[in-house]
Amino acid sequence: MEPRAPVSVFRAGLLCRCPRCGQGRLFTDFVHFLRVAETCEACGLDLRPEDSGDGPAVFVMFVTGPLVVTLAILLEVLAQPPLWLHALLWIPTVLVSSVALLRPLKAVLIALQYRHRAGEGGKNTFT
Q: What is the pLDDT of residue 103?
A: 93
Torsion of CA 109, 114, 118, 120, to 10 degrees: 80
pLDDT digits (tens, 9 = 90+) for 6-54: 688 889 989 999 998 889 999 987 778 889 999 999 888 888 887 888 9
Q: How many residues belong to the chain?
A: 127
**Predicted pLDDT at 1:** 42
pTM: 0.82
Q: What is the tens place of the pLDDT at every residue in 62-116?
A: 999 999 999 999 999 999 999 999 999 999 999 999 999 999 999 999 999 888 8
Q: What is the DSSP letter of 118?
A: -
Distance CA 55, CA 103 (A): 11
**Dihedral of the CA atoms 60, 66, 69, 73 (nearest 10)?**
-160
